[in-house]
Structure 1
Amino acid sequence: MTDRTFSRSTTARNTLLQYGALLLLAAGLAACGGSSSSHRGGNNDGPPTDDTAFTDTASWTFQLPGNGGQLCFDFDTNTQVDDCTGTGWDVRVRSGGRSATFWTNSGTTHAAGQGGAFAGPFDYSWSALQDWQSGLTDGDGTTIPANLYVADGTSGVFVGDNGIQAAAFEYGIGGGHQLFPNYRVFLITTDSTDASNESNESNGSTRVFAVQITGYYGGPSGTASGYPSLRWIERTDGASVQQETINASGGEWIHYDLVNQTVVDAPNASNWQIAFNRYNIKLNGGESGDGTVAGYLGKTPAGFYDSEGQPIASAFLNSSPAATLADLTAADMATPANAHAWVSDGTQSRLNAAYRGSHPAPLDFGWYTYYSQAADAQAVLGPDAAGHMLAANPENGGMIRSGTGDSYARLHVTNIQYADISDNSSAQTWTIEFDVQPAH
């Protein structure tokens, strides 16, 4: 458990408004020829019918598997599923050995379903979710479009926290429906086990590129969306600036080899570094590829964002690739201090919120609280409890869509039981309860 501090989330109502804004954004992207992104769900739009409601329940009690293990559950049939492929499961638990993360059957390398999450454990209390009429109607009777059930997606250096979850683009600058590059410089290494920067280059075979995304429009008309442009240098040998525009408009991933400056038709562990799917970008490592490629944010050009991290419209509207070329080779480029600073692609789910609190005090992970100190654990779990233990937070809830895309459930973790309360490494038995809106 690392030492971080986070503030409490905003109110549930603000969460709904935030996601409503994302829906408008997605509609705008579609109108301008863009994509609603692989990071979001988009099935079964529209309000529920009169006979849809939370009429069923399900309960999943399981022993947490060893580190790296996983289990899946189908809340429609109230059964644990041995095969976590296809659409026949709705929630996946991945074990970290002594803790767990939750995932929906949606949109990642490991899930082919139509699921998604509208709310994670910090967005709504379980009692508030009891007032919801259905998975598509909240406690105030407001219709929730199914687009707002967010598919699990990729995390990485090119994934941002703006509305389109892009670190290299901003959307809607000046009130329009266009994407604008922010000309950030991303360092990309071919070997994420090696720090390999100018002050600490330990492996001469490691290649490190500085890459800028410089545009999004092209094609025969020059204005079609889905044509990201990039330029790069190889920092480890001082090569000249290279440039390319990729046709990533077809909705498939286009893999690119920065070394040989070519599109790769049969990607493997070593023949590509970066790939594009419209404005989405991934690297050949971690969850996204079999290689050891990873990234690092080296530089954000001055003047594009204010002190609160909000985009400054005039900078985006008035800048150009030529005006930001010097940033590609800037002397003040940030570089990773060690190999651990490289960011490999992973996966993320709305069900896995960043924890709140500061070590060594208890850390709130939403579904459960982690107690590093024995005294804190004993106050909750009993006088024999050891340190480094978990306790369920049944007052927090979430809302998800099934892998088949036609049913919904609200869920909460109601119990985490240790086989031996004095041994934090003893077997854990978890219970998750569901209220289910079946398919109609």
Structure 2
Amino acid sequence: MHPTASSKTLLTTLTVLAAAALAACGGGGGGNDTAEPPVVTPPVAASKFTQNATWSFTLPSAGNSLCYDFDAKAQAACTGNQWDVKVVSGGRSAELFTNSGPSSADGTGTGGAFGTPFVHTWTDLQKWNDALVDPVGGALPATVYTADTAKSAFSGTNAIQSAAYEYDLNGTHQMHPNFRVFLITTNSASSDISGSVGDVYALQVTGYYGSATGTASGWPSFRFINRAAAATPFTASVNASQGWVYYDLKNQVTTTESGTWHIAFNRYNIKLNGGTSGKGTVAGFLSKTPAGFYQADGKTPIAAKFNATTNLADTLADLQGALTGPASANAWVKDSIGSQLSPTYTGTYPNALNYGWFNYYPTDAAGAAAGVTQHMLKANPEAATLVKSGTGNSYARMRVKEIAYAPATPAYGGAQTWTVEFGIQPATN
């Protein structure tokens, strides 16, 4: 008797069911009668980046700004704490800023940008579920979001962003002056450093601790000379532990922000009355680093030299001697605003220069492979970072997706349309 097609199907089905039952009981695998425990996959944490927004704008003329509120998904006035990202046009290019520090015009913005920009690509950041949790490194402190800062001739590249101090060289969390000589001019339109065109001062920061005890922090001390007058230095110390203190170098007195001042101190931060910091024409220039304070790289401190008790006397000759000034007037450093969203470019002319968000192509040859002509920008859509909002309670990952030019001759003369994308982590109630 031969089985019919239907009976073959039935036999096959019964065989499969029997094999499944046997496997469930541990049979057919060496006689183990213990059931295998079920595999439990842990739940994937829900992403807090639950919203998206696109900001498209025409780059305004040089010196003008546009601001964006990624919580409202709309362009906003550049006032108060509601805007989150600002674009300041340079005409053919632009810089970006957060609503924080000196970028916050009325001081209410508490935003910031991820402390090391562009270390994560846009693709990388799609894997983040929380702006305060690195999926590889774990939880992040809120301080990883850095506020914008004032930049001046006194700004540096060390951990405290200072050219006048080093920090914690002995493991005691102390500030150490490096006795560098800075030139300060009251007329940044001239490169003269003799003092014959405007007043020019040579200044050294000499300490950080003072008050009646001599140990209170935030009391910077300094000495300076007017290069057109006698070489005997004036010395001063100010209590800058509670905020900005303004100093008039000509009259050797503290004053107010609305008065006549040249230099101001706020703990170890220093600014000059010019550029973005004031209405004056004061600017600075780092002229000389006394010998012995740094290794050959010019960056690594030599702790023994900083600890020497004779530094004040040993470096006086540096203040009073011959100094190198700026080669031209535009080499004076006027105060500006620094932001993690506007890093210093990398690259060497005539090759492409990388500004993080975009590349700039100074020549046709440089832009050939990128499909652009000289003086044009091209977005780096994989370049990305994280930003904290001006209100300080929400975050966004962001990138410049595209920079498009309107038809024009030459091509770089066309209006630029920027497209910026955000993935938003809204504030939680």
**TM-score over 0.5 for the alignment?**
yes
Tell me if 1:210 matches 2:210: no
Q: Secondary structure at the match of 2:384?
A: strand
Aligned mates of 1:315, 1:230 — CA distance in 2:
19
Alignment: residue pair count? 379
**CA distance in 1: counterparts of 2:257 and 2:57, whole angstroms:** 40
Alpha carbons of 1:373 and 1:326: their partners in 2 closer, same or farther (altered >3 Å)?
Answer: closer
Contact 1:74 1:90 in 2 (8 A): yes
Task: Report the AA paired with residue 316 of structure 2.
Answer: L
1: CA distance between counterparts of 2:331 and 2:227?
Answer: 17
Is contact 1:120-1:399 (8 Å) kept?
A: no
Q: In the alignment, residue 129 of structure 1 is paired with which amino acid?
A: L
Q: Provide the residue aligned with 2:379 in structure 1.
A: 392
Report the AA paired with residue 262 of structure 1. Answer: V
Partner of 2:268: 279
2 CA distance for matches of 1:180 and 1:121? 29
Range with greater deviation from structure 2 (292-301 or 112-121)? 112-121
The match for 2:187 is 191
Q: Paired residue for 1:247, among 239, 242, 245?
A: 239
Give the Cα–Cα distance (whole angstroms) in 2 for the partners of residues 266 and 289 of structure 1: 8
Q: Which runs of no fewer than 5 residues in structure 1 stay unpaired?
A: 1-49
Deviations 1:216-258 (A, max 9, x none): 10112110001100111111223421111101111x2100001
Matched, 1:99 2:80: no
CA contact (8 A) 1:287 1:347 kept: yes
Q: Alignment partner of 1:174: what SS? A: coil
Output aligned runs, 1:27-42, within 5 Å.
Answer: none
Q: Is the 8 A contact 1:60 1:431 kept in 2?
A: yes
User: Equivalents in 1 of 2:353, 2:117: separation in Å?
Assistant: 14
Q: CA deviation at 1:73?
A: 0.4
Cα distance in 1 for partners of 2:393, 2:102 equals 19
Deviation at 1:391, TM superposition (A): 1.2
Distance, in Å, in 2 between the alignment partners of 1:114 and 1:62 is: 25
Which residue of structure 2 aligns with residue 367 of structure 1? 357
Q: Aligned pair 1:55/2:36, yes or no?
A: no
2:79 to 78, 85, 107: 85
The residue that corresponds to 1:313 in the other structure is: 303
Instruction: Note the C-alpha offset of 1:434.
Output: 0.5
Map of 2:341 onto structure 1: 351
Change (3 A) 1:260 1:415: same
* Residue 404 of structure 2 corresponds to residue 417 of structure 1: yes
Which 5+ residue runs of structure 2 have no aligned equivalent? Answer: 1-44
Measure, in 1, the Cα distance between the counterparts of 2:205 and 2:308: 16
Cα deviation 1:159-178 (Å, max 9, x = unaligned): 11111111111100111110
Task: For 2:46 and 2:249, locate their aligned partners in 1 and report how far apart those are by CA, in whole Å.
Answer: 55
The alignment partner of 1:380 has SS state of coil
Which residue is 1:263 aligned to?
254
Identity of aligned residues (%): 50
Structure-2 separation of matches of 1:215 and 1:380: 51
Matches within 5 A, 1:328-339: 328-331=319-322, 333-339=323-329
User: Do the aligned partners of residues 300 and 183 (structure 1) sit closer, same or farther apart at CA in structure 2, a change above 3 Å counting?
Assistant: same
Q: Distance in 1 between matches of 2:381 and 2:47?
A: 25
Kindly name which structure, 1 or 2, has the bigger radius of gyration based on alpha carbons.
2
Q: Name the structure, 1 or 2, with higher relative contact order (CA <8 Å, separation 6+).
A: 1
TM-score scaled by structure 1? Answer: 0.83
Counterpart of 2:99 in structure 1: which amino acid? N
Match of 1:168 among 132, 140, 164: 164
What is the DSSP-based 3-state SS (H/G/I as helix, E as strand, rest coil) of the residue aligned with 2:412? coil
Q: Counterpart in 1 of 2:217?
A: 225
Counterpart of 1:146, as a letter, is A
Equivalent residue number for residue 15 of structure 1: none
Opposite residue 413 of structure 1, the aligned amino acid is V
Task: Report how far residue 272 of structure 1 moved.
Answer: 0.8
CA distance in 1, matches of 2:374, 2:197: 45
| AA matched with 1:402 | S
Shift of 1:265: 2.8
Counterpart position of 2:62 = 67
Cα deviation code 1:279-303 (max 9, x no counterpart): 1111010111100011111211100
4+ residue stretches of structure 1 with deviation over 4 A?
none
Matched, 1:324 2:320: no
Superimposed CA distance per residue, residues 271-324 of structure 1 (whole angstroms, 9 cap, x where no aligned partner) = 111001111111010111100011111211100000122000000011431222
Superposed CA RMSD? 1.7
Q: Secondary structure at the match of 1:173?
A: coil
Give how far 1:349 is off: 0.4
Q: Indicate how the Cα distance of structure 1 residues 365 and 326 shifts in structure 2: closer, same or farther if over 3 A, else same.
A: same
Shift of 1:338: 2.0
Q: CA deviation at 1:372?
A: 2.4
> What TM-score do you get using the length of structure 2 for normalisation?
0.85
- The reply on whether 1:432 has 2:420 as its aligned counterpart is yes
